[in-house]
Amino acid sequence: MKVIVGKDLLSANAGQAGENRVLFNNNRVTVINLISAPGSGKTALLEKTAELLRGKLKLGVVVGDLYTTRDAERIERAGVTVVQINTEGVCHLTADMVARALQEVSLDQLNLLFIENVGNLVCPVSFDLGEHAKVALLSVTEGSDKPAKYPGIFREAVATVISKVDLLPYTDFDLPACLEEIQKINSDQQVFITSARTGQDLSHWCAWLEQLAAGKAKGNNLASR
């Protein structure tokens, strides 16, 4: 059965999200809520990010999935602390689910925590998890019309990672049009044009994460949240 999502539920969620945020701040850990459609490459991005940031930042990941622990297992193999949340069919993570997962994480030992949300470009956007920043992921195989069709996440994200650009030659993805669309929705946003397979632009992405974790990145309204 599906979740009940009314005004009361959202305000209860906001309360728990606030508590999560205090916990994150007290432990000086920067938290990113990673949101995309199914199969955009969230897990692949996190695997590569873990490799590239090894020895630089202490990373943790909370992985949300409807069912299965496949993503968590993949990320764990990259040598990162992972906690799995199975939503049992619920289409997004809630602050409450994250709070329970946090009991399994030694936050004081981390610099940066990713929350990999359920693969869904719509519902997760409405649920604050206490994160400091949302990051959107969009693969080129999904089509360059997606920001206009799903503007919510692109409006809220401080950065968009365009993924799978190694497949660009085989698609009709219009990169300039897509970038223009993202710019139109939210001009105050970092965009990374990446491939987890070839490593393209991942060094910029990781440099940005380091800045973010140091509380310096532009667009990361840490103070105001």
Side-chain-facing half-sphere of 106: CA atoms under 13 Å: 4
Nearest distance, CB of residue 124 and its own copies, angstroms: 10
Q: What is the nearest approach in angstroms of its own copies to the Cβ of residue 88?
A: 11
CB of 212 to its own copies, least distance (A): 26
Q: Which residue's CB is nearer to its own copies, number 120 or number 220?
A: 120
Rounded to whole angstroms, how far apart are CA atoms 2 and 22?
A: 29
Q: Please give the residue ranges that form the binding site for its own copies (CB under 8 A).
A: 1-7, 10, 37-39, 65-68, 70, 89, 91, 118-123, 126, 139, 141-143, 145-146, 148-152, 164, 166-167, 170-171
Q: Which is nearer to its own copies, 96 or 210 (CB)?
A: 96
Smallest Cα–Cα separation from 135: which of 78, 77, 208?
Answer: 208
Nearer of residues 24 and 150 to its own copies, judged by Cβ: 150
- Phi then psi dihedrals of residue 60, to 5 deg: -130, 155
Report helix, strand or coil for 31: strand
Nearest CB to its own copies, comparing residues 43 and 81: 43
Alpha helices in 78-174 (DSSP H): 95-102, 146-149, 151-156
